[in-house]
Amino acid sequence: MVMSYKAGPELGIIEVHTTKEGGHPVDFWAKRCVERIVAVSDQAPEELEKQVNDFKDNIEKVIEQYMQNAIKSDRITINNQLDKAGLTEASDLIRKL
């Protein structure tokens, strides 16, 4: 569900995105990231708009891949710390994610 409210020049646009029983997936965050970084004018020529949108799609895939790598790396770090603390059950749960 997405709700938007245009609050004017001081606040910009406020959006709320909800999930059920979990956080947002990587592709959600990659898309939000690209939306903040890359934009094309409504008055841009159609050919330029297509190039920008293709670029956005490519950048989104790159961001997704690096975010997945960061998540895996963080889980390995957490897993190792749990193992060191003797919390093998918790470590096994993290490993299965």
What residues make up the domain containing 59? 26-96
**Strands 2-6 and 13-17, how do they pair?**
antiparallel
Give a yes or no: residue 31 inside a domain.
yes
Binning pLDDT at 50, 70 and 90, where does residue 19 land? confident
In a domain, 82, yes or no: yes
Task: Indicate whether 2 belongs to any domain.
Answer: no
Has residue 71 been placed in a domain?
yes
Average pLDDT rounded to a whole number, residues 69-92 = 95
Average pLDDT over residues 4-11: 56
Please check whether residue 7 lies inside any domain of the structure: no
Average pLDDT over residues 80-89: 95
**20: helix, strand or coil:** coil
Average pLDDT over residues 50-68: 97
- Provide the β-strand partners of residue 6: 13
Residue 42, in any domain of the structure:
yes
